[in-house]
Amino acid sequence: MVSRQQTESGTTARTGVEAVTKQRGRPRSFDRETALEKAILAFWEHGYEATSVSDLTRVMGIGAPSLYAAFGDKRSLFDEVVRVYGTRYGSFGERALAEEPTARAAVERMLREAAAEYTAPGRPHGCLVIHAATNCTSPEVEEDLRERRNANIAAFESRMKAGIAAGELPAGTDAAALARHTGAIVQGMSQQARDGATREQLEALAALAMAVWPDSSANPARSRTEAG
């Protein structure tokens, strides 16, 4: 009765085969997935506290009781929003870390993609995880996203340590500092995307930031028109 409401109704897995059983009562008059996407955009743009339930019902196109029946309370809706956001919009970092052959290539790709993602047209700028729960009345929400941010930095560090172990980075490389630096660049890029920076400006920033890597070439701060 409780958890049932928050899952997509109409499908049940039975004996390994997905069987569609007709729901008994009145069917939902809205599409849960598109309503969730609207909620993602609203929370993304205005943050957890500044997005009221009446804001949500307006942009989702449903009444408050429908929202509570389908998603639980505001907090659990936000939790789902953060989870889906992570897989739908915030996974480029993990993907780069997992797919690129070196830590350096992974971070370079991540920063380049961040410049594009954080300024993508038709979406709120910047990163939801970085901005949606700052200055919250309820500390739990704030703490939840804080842990995600710190987990990201920890993931950077472990990837860099793997790079050191693999010999792709010098043995003396300070993985923790490099990871924190990468996190600061990502967070700073997200902030500046919110503050109106363009994709090109963020790309230049990111390219410059790559100069801190041990095997970088000299004179990175030269303009691209001169240095190529």
Partner DNA sequence: GCATTTGCCTAGTGATCGCTACAGAAAAAA
Partner DNA sequence: TTTTTTCTGTAGCGATCACTAGGCAAATGC
Question: Binding residues for DNA, per CB under 7 A?
Answer: 5, 9, 21-30, 49, 51-55, 62-66, 68-70, 73-75
Token pair of 70, please?
Answer: 């389908």
How would you label 165-180 residue by residue, b for 16+ Cβ within 10 Å and e otherwise? Answer: eeebbeeebebeebbe
Closest C-alpha to 105, from 161, 51, 163, 147 = 163
Q: CB of 10: closest distance to a copy of itself in angstroms?
A: 36
214 binds a copy of itself (CB under 8 A): yes
Closest C-alpha to 73, from 14, 138, 134 = 138
163-166's contacts with Cβ under 8 Å and 24+ in sequence apart are 163/102, 163/103, 163/104
Sole binder of a copy of itself in the list 40, 144, 186, 199 (CB under 8 A): 186
| Closer residue to a copy of itself, CB minimum distance, 29 or 223 | 223
Residues of span 131-150 touching a copy of itself by CB under 8 A: 131-132, 134-137, 146, 149-150
Q: CB of 200: closest distance to a copy of itself in angstroms?
A: 10
Residue 65 binds what, of DNA, a copy of itself, none (CB under 5 to 8 Å, by partner type)? DNA
Residue 226 binds what, of DNA, a copy of itself, none (CB under 5 to 8 Å, by partner type)? a copy of itself
Q: Which amino acid is at 187?
A: Q
Instruction: Please give the span between the terminal C-alpha atoms of the chain, in angstroms, as a whole number.
Output: 63
**Which range of residues in 16-24, 59-67, 77-85, 211-219 is near a copy of itself by CB under 8 A?**
211-219
176 binds a copy of itself (CB under 8 A): yes
